[in-house]
Amino acid sequence: RSDELRRFIYIITECESDEYLIGNVITERRRKPITVTLTRHHTSDFVEHQSLLMRLDLSSKKDQQRDGIYWSHLSYINISMKKILIEFCRRSILPQKFDDCIVGSIIPGVVQNIFEYGLFIDLPNTIIAFAPHKHLDLHGNLESIEKKYRIGQTVFVRILQLDEEKHRCIVSLKSIMYDGEIAELNQSDYVLKCYLNEKYQLIDDMKQNGTGPLSKFFQETKKWIGFKCRCLIEKRLDDWFIGRLENGLPASLPYDAHYSIGDSIEGYIIDFNLSAQQFIMTIDLKKPIKHSISSTQTLTQCTILCQLSSYALAITQDSNHLIHLPTFSDLNSFYSISSTTSYKRKQQINISSLIPYISEEFNYIIIPFQEKKSSIKIYQPDEIVSVTIIDVLPKQLNVKLNDGSRGRIHITELFDNPSTEKFQTLNDLYHINQSLNARIIGTRNIEKDSKHQRPVYDLSLREKSSQQYEIGDRIIGFFDKIDEKTKGYWFYLSLHLRGYVPPEFISKQLTTGQCSYLTIMNKIINDKGEHYTLTMFDNNQSESNIIYAQFKEIKSINEFHFKITKDNENYEGILISTDVSDVFEDFIFWNYLMSVKPPLLVNGQLNIKKELWKFRNKTIRAFIKEENKEKKQMILSTRKSRLDKNHLDLIDEEIENIEQISIGDILHGYIDVLTNRQITILLGSGKTVIGHIEKVLNRTLNGHLREYLDIGMVVEAIVLNVDKEKNKCQMKLTDQFIEQLVSKRSKRNRLSRANSLNGSIAGGDDKDDNDQELNIKRLKTDDESIKPNALGNDLKFDWNDDLSTLRPSTDNNDVEQMDESSSSLRKKKLESHISSSNDHQRTQEEYEQLVKQAANDSHLWIEYMQYYIDQAEIDRARTIAERALASIFYREERDKLNVWIAYLSLENRYGTPEKVNAILTRALGNCDGVKVYQRLACDVYEKNEQFEDANATFTLLIKKFNKNKQAWLEYIMYLFRRHQTEQAKTILDKSFSSLSSTDHVDMINKFGQLEFKYGDKERAKTVYEKLLASYPKRTDLWSIYIDMLIKYDTDPLIAARSIFDRVLSLNIPPKKMKFLIKKYLQFEKQYGTTVDINRAKERITQYVNTNDDDNKINSNVEQDELDF
């Protein structure tokens, strides 16, 4: 177990790297050696000690007894010797697997990777946690992630969310309110004590095992703290002097204006910097440091000597003891440059009220961290205060208290008896600057946040508090929003409690803030918290045979079971496909009853485990057809004709018995058993009335039924014979239904053949049996010998162009490199991947095998999506997209992004704007926002000629990421491709107000390149001439200018030579000119004559002679180089 503490004998067997040690451990319980690995990051809680521990302590002591814990198991068992982790395991329990992680719990971890957008943190048992940038305790622009956190650092995290899709935890590192026994582990004095103990232990190891002048000094000087010596100042670094002691050892001391570089200063050693191998000195001591101290001695005043990264050193005024004062507030802020507390040299501190910690082993003193006392008044719960409304919102009032604190009054706390008949908005009832008397019910800022120095209060105008609810209660809720996925309603029931009304239980439309009567059907508790499932129908209606049932299990595609509570007794509800709706449709449970994605059948089999999550916590309103009190079973129906007595939409009548069926009737039924030659269908009354189709006379279908149909689909058949004794009837498929199946399949075949021959579907004419047009268009590729893939062509999406290199967000100096690299990589991708897929049309089984073998290959998943799109099965293509997103490893960001763009393109072509927005929101939460918006605009909207949508997307991109240079550049490139050069110039000017001045030159440079390629060549020259007039010594800009002239100018050779001559006439240092000189010689060798080459040599020789006095070209233009 990862929380299992062991004291073991650690025997090193392999020490070939500074990153890890491999050894054997012998525990107290198990004497047989176990091979384990100890990485550098798990030797210490403090990063600067880890390398020294590997080198000095662990590797030098081959056989030693130490405390440690099991951490994870990869190729070896990984152990940890971090003391804070070990102490945590003594007091609490670590999660053993991802399912053990609990939202809200606080656990320790190790920083694994640092990115601009957040931290990846290693938790025990290979559990991965991600802390987004917004959940890091950074102090504005004063510090970055890299400055506050270190790889290998021990941190405490609070779990905010469990990401089931990526199998990782979303955590926060912001200052946390700690409880119980682990609170001490996060306190600054305890952390500093661990740091100093480890530091002085390492210095002792240097005394015993080290060699060299530093170890010799420690060996000869028993009490090196307080040692008096002289330091020769060599340089100044910020607020410190850097120098050397008389024995040559490095030292540093605080800057003092009375001294300068070259002075020799006498002072006292007060500390040692292990990472820099440097002594810390002070010149502020008037007398030697006193080392011994009694536990009864009181300390009153101290003077700051200097402040280091995580603590300050001070000297007591009365007793002359050296003390340590932590400047950080908790473990997570140990390396923060924006310290919670900062001290100045010679500052006087009162420490009389603080109890010091005295280390008897290493003889140091720590004064606990001093929290700043706040003068802000803290209001207590149930206290009545006067407030002033500062803002009226649809669902709450924002108010201001008399002391300046802010608060809110939520809509659920405004009324004791709200009216459901007459709706009035909060703007109708309240106005800004209105005064109210409200009751304090709590505070919102549970975390310490520099942005909220005052508490933010929750207040109430109600006389009584919210009550507890039970299933069946009739309550009032306030409408919040419509769920984008399910189209259900979300309600606020109280300040921190919400309820959900599924679409089938909605009785009327509501406006945000409007209240309505609701009935509680079920209580849901999951990782995201708890909420109630509600209905807007009155449960106490006269029909006693209408109940609410909660999903329990899937028995088969055509049979679902539910849990029912009636008269305090539990029943099992059975619902058959024929009793779900008055209109039969394929996969009725998925498409109609639950409004979820239809199942993916493999060889006609349903993977029940994969489908269960879709129906978790689902509740239905049902009619009781039959009730068996002995077996505790009910037969249910959700037909509207049963529930609401609504027969207007009745198409497929309910068949109660075989007597209702006559020979010649044409009926619809659900396939229950299917082979290639026979079909058994359900007609009604549960599974008691069934039909048999034994022969299919159509040659195309005969023997191949499973290629056309699946269990759960609806078929149309005519009754041939009725067997009333067995409740069965013989049937055959109607000619019309067969024609539809064959026509649908033949259209798919023609579509597939058109794709394989012509490459893509986008334009052209062809007619099928139903006179429907098929648009066919040939894709153009860079290599005519390579057949382009049909993948995605029906989406009007150039999949071949850029699924591997599709307009990547790059920052190359030359825009032309984008097109060239795209072309070459496209060919390789096509040759390696597409050629194999075009040899034959893959089947569903083949795709299933391929995606299992290469789960991270986005191209394969998208080809699988296209397989179903070619067959007009859009819902199945959506299912494949969801499977791909769940299967691709979260670190394969490029492949993930490809699938998201393909999914967006699919919904853009076949879905609704709401679905596109829903997918876009999910994609932005999982990928780089700049890349998502850019690819959506270019690869979806632009390629489908939806230019208004593309413009809107780019506008949103530069608004959200206005500090990102690439975002502006992508928009400008799009405008140039659309030949909107004037608008591109406007966007360039607009970007200068948002981007830093260091990016302006690069933006103008790339604008000039685009002007050469798409716009006016003369205006492009003007852009470069103005740019080079301001930056004449930028040889990289001259080089790009020359390349553009060679490629696009009407007389490229004359123009390029003119620029080369101008550059050689400038006073540019020879070292910078080396590249351009070689380029000049290569240019004349490729395009010029012998006369041109000799002229170039003469110009270069003149330049060399002119600049010879300033600086020689060291081997830049050797004679043999000039002679080629």
Q: Are residues 546 and 535 in the same domain?
A: no
Using pLDDT thresholds of 50, 70 and 90, give the confidence band for residue 795.
very low
Quote the Cα angle for 806-808-809, to 5°. Answer: 155
List of residues 6+ apart from 258 with CB closer than 8 A:
none
Q: How far apart are CA 305 and CA 314, in angstroms?
A: 5
Using pLDDT thresholds of 50, 70 and 90, give the confidence band for residue 52.
confident
Which of 41-45, 175-179, 766-770, 1116-1120 holds the top average pLDDT?
41-45
Mean per-residue pLDDT of the chain: 80
Q: Count the alpha carbons within 13 Å of 417 in the hemisphere toward its beta carbon.
A: 0
Q: How many helices (H) and strands (E) does the chain have?
A: 30, 45
Query: For residue 421, is it within any domain?
Result: yes
DSSP-derived letter for residue 1081 is H
Find the CATH number of the domain harbouring 506.
2.40.50.140
Q: Are residues 174 and 114 in the same domain?
A: yes
Q: Are residues 591 and 646 in the same domain?
A: yes
Q: How far apart are CA 560 and CA 134, in angstroms?
A: 43
pLDDT at 279: 94
Quote the Cα angle for 990-992-996, to 5°. Answer: 145
Tell me the CA distances in angstroms from 793 to 106, 761, 775, 837, 868, one per residue in order.
49, 5, 11, 15, 13
Domain edge (last residue) among 125, 156, 185: 185
Using pLDDT thresholds of 50, 70 and 90, give the confidence band for residue 899.
very high
pLDDT at 282: 94
pLDDT in tens, 371-391: 655 556 778 888 899 999 998
Beta bridge partners of 733: 717
List of residues 6+ apart from 15 with CB closer than 8 A:
21, 22, 59
List of residues 6+ apart from 569 with CB closer than 8 A:
632
Dihedral of alpha carbons 109, 111, 113, 114, sign: positive
Cα of first residue to Cα of last residue in the chain, in angstroms, is 70
Query: For residue 379, is it within any domain?
Result: no
Q: How far apart are CA 439 and CA 409, in angstroms?
A: 10
Closest alpha carbon to 521 in 427, 610, 452, 621: 621
Using pLDDT thresholds of 50, 70 and 90, give the confidence band for residue 177.
low
pLDDT at 304: 93
Is pLDDT at 789 greater than 80 in this prediction? no
Query: For residue 29, is it within any domain?
Result: yes
Q: How far apart are CA 600 and CA 74, in angstroms?
A: 34
Other beta carbons less than 10 A from residue 466's beta carbon: 15
Dihedral of alpha carbons 1109, 1114, 1116, 1121, sign: positive
Q: Directed axis angle between helix 858-870 and helix 735-758, to 10°? A: 140
Q: Are residues 58 and 111 in the same domain?
A: no
Tell me the CA distances in angstroms from 871 to 590, 868, 892, one per residue in order.
20, 5, 29
List of residues 6+ apart from 826 with CB closer than 8 A:
781, 782, 800, 801, 802, 804, 805
Which stretches of 618-775 are DSSP H helices? 640-643, 705-708, 735-758
pLDDT in tens, 579-608: 998 889 888 888 887 767 788 777 667 777
pLDDT at 120: 93
List of residues 6+ apart from 463 with CB closer than 8 A:
416
Tell me the CA distances in angstroms from 93 to 170, 181, 669, one per residue in order.
19, 12, 56
Q: Are residues 87 and 116 in the same domain?
A: no
Is pLDDT at 958 greater than 80 in this prediction? yes
Closest alpha carbon to 929 in 903, 900, 950: 900
Mean pLDDT of 779-800: 34
| 679 phi/psi in degrees, rounded to 5 | -135, 135
Alpha-carbon torsion angle 1051, 1053, 1058, 1060, nearest 10: 150
Q: Which helix (H) or strand (E) holds 490?
A: strand 489-494
Mean pLDDT of 710-729: 89
Q: Is 1123 helix (H, G, I), strand (E, B) or coil?
A: coil
Using pLDDT thresholds of 50, 70 and 90, give the confidence band for residue 1115.
very low
Closest alpha carbon to 433 in 390, 385, 404: 390
Closest alpha carbon to 957 in 945, 974, 981, 944: 974
Of the ranges 121-125, 338-342, 1011-1015, which one carries the lowest mean pLDDT score?
338-342
Share of the chain above pLDDT 70, in %: 81
Domain edge (last residue) among 511, 539, 567: 539
Is pLDDT at 837 greater than 60 in this prediction? no
Give Cα 79 to chain centroid, integer Å.
29
Q: Are residues 205 and 336 in the same domain?
A: yes
Mean pLDDT of 736-749: 72
Is pLDDT at 152 greater than 80 in this prediction? yes
pLDDT in tens, 261-302: 999 999 999 999 988 889 999 999 988 898 887 777 788 899
Q: How far apart are CA 907 and CA 915, in angstroms?
A: 6
Pairing status of strand 118-123 against strand 63-73: unpaired
Query: For residue 755, is it within any domain?
Result: no
Query: For residue 966, is it within any domain?
Result: no
Using pLDDT thresholds of 50, 70 and 90, give the confidence band for residue 110.
very high
Cβ pair 170, 132 in contact under 8 A:
yes
Share of the chain above pLDDT 90, in %: 16
Q: Are residues 123 and 180 in the same domain?
A: yes
List of residues 6+ apart from 915 with CB closer than 8 A:
907
Is pLDDT at 209 greater than 80 in this prediction? no
Of the ranges 227-241, 354-368, 811-825, 945-959, which one carries the lowest mean pLDDT score?
811-825
CB-count burial class (<10 Å; 0-12, 13-18, 19+) for 1030: exposed
Q: Are residues 53 and 196 in the same domain?
A: no
Q: How far apart are CA 173 and CA 108, in angstroms?
A: 10
Query: For residue 1027, is it within any domain?
Result: no
Domain edge (last residue) among 676, 696, 731: 731
Mean pLDDT of 1014-1023: 86
Quote the Cα angle for 558-559-561, to 5°. Answer: 155
Q: Are residues 313 and 255 in the same domain?
A: yes
pLDDT at 56: 66
Is pLDDT at 1120 greater than 70 in this prediction? no
DSSP states along 302-333: EEEEEE-SSEEEEEETTT--EEEEE--SBGGG
Q: Are residues 63 and 7 in the same domain?
A: yes
Tokens of 127: 């559990």
Q: How far apart are CA 434 and CA 449, in angstroms?
A: 29
Which stretches of 237-276 are DSSP H helices? none
Beta bridge partners of 151: none
Of the ranges 13-17, 175-179, 907-911, which one carries the lowest mean pLDDT score?
13-17
Query: For residue 301, is it within any domain?
Result: yes
Q: Which amino acid is at 815?
A: V
pLDDT at 502: 85
Taking only Cα atoms into account, the Rg of the chain, rounded to an integer number of angstroms, comes to 38
Using pLDDT thresholds of 50, 70 and 90, give the confidence band for residue 829.
very low
Tokens of 766: 């062809």
CB-count burial class (<10 Å; 0-12, 13-18, 19+) for 586: middle
Parent domain of 1117? 1032-1124
Mean pLDDT of 610-622: 79
Mean pLDDT of 162-190: 80
| 777 phi/psi in degrees, rounded to 5 | -145, 140
Q: How far apart are CA 327 and CA 905, in angstroms?
A: 53
Instruction: Please indicate whether residue 829 or residue 576 has the higher confidence score (pLDDT).
Output: 576
CB-count burial class (<10 Å; 0-12, 13-18, 19+) for 114: middle
Q: Are residues 281 and 343 in the same domain?
A: yes
Using pLDDT thresholds of 50, 70 and 90, give the confidence band for residue 901.
very high
List of residues 6+ apart from 1058 with CB closer than 8 A:
none
Closest alpha carbon to 1013 in 973, 1054, 1052: 973
Q: How far apart are CA 230 and CA 228, in angstroms?
A: 7
pLDDT at 1122: 46
pLDDT in tens, 428-463: 899 888 999 999 988 765 444 444 456 788 899 988
Is pLDDT at 923 greater than 70 in this prediction? yes
Mean pLDDT of 483-500: 87
Dihedral of alpha carbons 184, 188, 189, 193, sign: positive
Q: Are residues 680 and 603 in the same domain?
A: no
List of residues 6+ apart from 177 with CB closer than 8 A:
446, 447
Beta bridge partners of 728: 690, 723
Pairing status of strand 34-39 against strand 77-80: parallel
Mean pLDDT of 789-816: 36
Query: For residue 1002, is it within any domain?
Result: no
Instruction: Please indicate whether residue 537 or residue 721 has the higher confidence score (pLDDT).
Output: 721
Which stretches of 798-939 are DSSP H helices? 799-802, 816-829, 835-838, 844-853, 858-870, 874-887, 893-910, 913-926, 929-935
pLDDT at 646: 65
What is the number of structural domains in the chain? 8
Q: Is 1100 helix (H, G, I), strand (E, B) or coil?
A: helix
Is pLDDT at 466 greater than 50 in this prediction? yes
Mean pLDDT of 218-227: 86
Dihedral of alpha carbons 792, 794, 800, 802, sign: negative
DSSP-derived letter for residue 55 is I
